[in-house]
Structure 1
């Protein structure tokens, strides 16, 4: 993984986190900063998974990689929201 791909994953991760939160139904008791952090982590992990599976080496836009990142972001936002909801009760 090059520094350029890490920076790209961070930039895309911010967008992925916001999209993941918007796709998750209901209200999430987490802030936007935490949402973006979850998106960045999901983007990095999604990129690593895509590289292991060999889909990250396709020319052009890697739609499969983006879908992996988005699914991971939705799961991540749901997990963090569930943990935050559980700690407040």
Structure 2
């Protein structure tokens, strides 16, 4: 049951991140889920590195969205999709 909840929350986190950072990004349902789950992992890693979370704490929903937005920005920077073209 925990895996199903993780997938559902990952989907919503990925959707919100894509909504807050509009643009043409790859993927559909699966990539959006992976983006959300990766955002949660990124938020956990950064939160622990900054001393915001202890070892047994998990990042919250908002931190996960911010983590997903960071991943989306990194993807766009390396793929060239974040640049304005004329």
- Give the shorter-chain TM-score range: 0.5 to 0.7
Whole-angstrom CA distance in 1 between matches of 2:79 and 2:33: 16
Contact preservation (8 Å) 1:24, 1:74: yes
Aligned residue pairs total 74
Contact preservation (8 Å) 2:44, 2:53: no
1:68 paired to 2:57: no
TM-score (ref. length: structure 1): 0.59
Unaligned runs of 5+ in 2: 82-86
Q: Deviations over 1:61-84 (max 9, x none)?
A: xxx711110100111112223323
Unaligned runs of 5+ in 1: 58-63
1:46 paired to 2:43: yes
Whole-angstrom CA distance in 1 between matches of 2:62 and 2:57: 12
Q: How big is the alpha-carbon RMSD for the aligned residues of Structure 1 and Structure 2?
A: 3.1
Whole-angstrom CA distance in 1 between matches of 2:60 and 2:73: 20
TM-score (ref. length: structure 2): 0.60
Q: Which has the higher contact order (CA 8 A, sep 6+)?
A: 1
Whole-angstrom CA distance in 1 between matches of 2:76 and 2:25: 6
Higher helix share: 1
